[in-house]
Copies of this chain bind each other. A is one copy, B any other.
Amino acid sequence: MERAKIRLCVEHPLGAGQAVPLDADQAHYLFAVMRLAVGARVALFNGRDGEWTAEVVEAGKKRGVLACLEQAAPQLAPPDLWLLFAPIKKERTDFIVEKAAELGCARVLPVATDYTNSARIRQDRLQAHAREAAEQCLGTYVPEVCDLQPLRKALEGWDPARRILWADESLVGAAETLAGLAPGPWAILIGPEGGFSEGERTWLRGRDFVTPVSLGPRILRADTAASAAITLWQAALGDWR
């Protein structure tokens, strides 16, 4: 069976013969925008049951039902990598969340640092971006996008078993690399334009579970730094090996 081109992330359980009702947005997308009819094939995933090929059995204006035919790909667990980043301008914040989903993060935590300009984010919009990126990149899971919280609050009760890879701008040009990182749960921490405050830097430097890392000899924008750090982690410890 050829793999279906249109992919949808759903909440519903997936399994052989399982009927999957669509919500109004999904029905609109499939039947009004993509003009699918009864009998058309769609790929479904829900973050738990892998990817399933499903067939349209009911197509209405605001509703519809798909029936699962067979599993097209197994569930691929996300690498245990979180991304902590300070929101920047809207478009680049969207890109960071998209890249985190494509490159492979389990969880995305927007954090407000001392030099963060954005006082709020649209969590629901960012979560939708992550879902769309997962649908597009053939992923079978969607990283959870958390609401914005202060960096200090996020780090106060931090489980030290999850090590933090800190993109430290003061190390630009240093020879630190990601070779030799211990396997296990990790998080990447990317600062805003302007970097971290001296108070934040002192706190981070004093924590055993924080590993500062250099991302080359140039100062990268926050979105470039996020992509680069995730890429290097994936190649060293993640599912790109």
- A residues touching B (Cβ–Cβ < 8 Å)? 76, 91, 95, 98-99, 102-104, 136-139, 172, 175, 177-178, 214-221, 224, 227-228, 231-232, 234-235, 238-241
Contacts and interface: CB of A to CB of B under 8 A. Distances in A.
29 contacts: A76-B217, A91-B91, A95-B95, A99-B227, A102-B218, A102-B221, A103-B218, A103-B220, A103-B228, A104-B216, A136-B221, A137-B218, A175-B241, A177-B235, A178-B235, A215-B240, A216-B234, A216-B238, A216-B239, A216-B240, A217-B239, A217-B240, A227-B227, A227-B231, A228-B231, A231-B231, A231-B232, A232-B232, A235-B235
Closest 5 CB pairs of A and B: A216-B240, A137-B218, A228-B231, A231-B231, A227-B227
Contacts of A234: 216
Given A227-B231, A240-B216, A241-B177, A221 B103 contact: no
Residues of A contacting B: mostly: loop
A223 to B, nearest CB: 9
Contacts of A219: 136-138
Contacts of A172: 138
B175 A220 contact: no
Nearest to A134: B218
B235 A99 contact: no
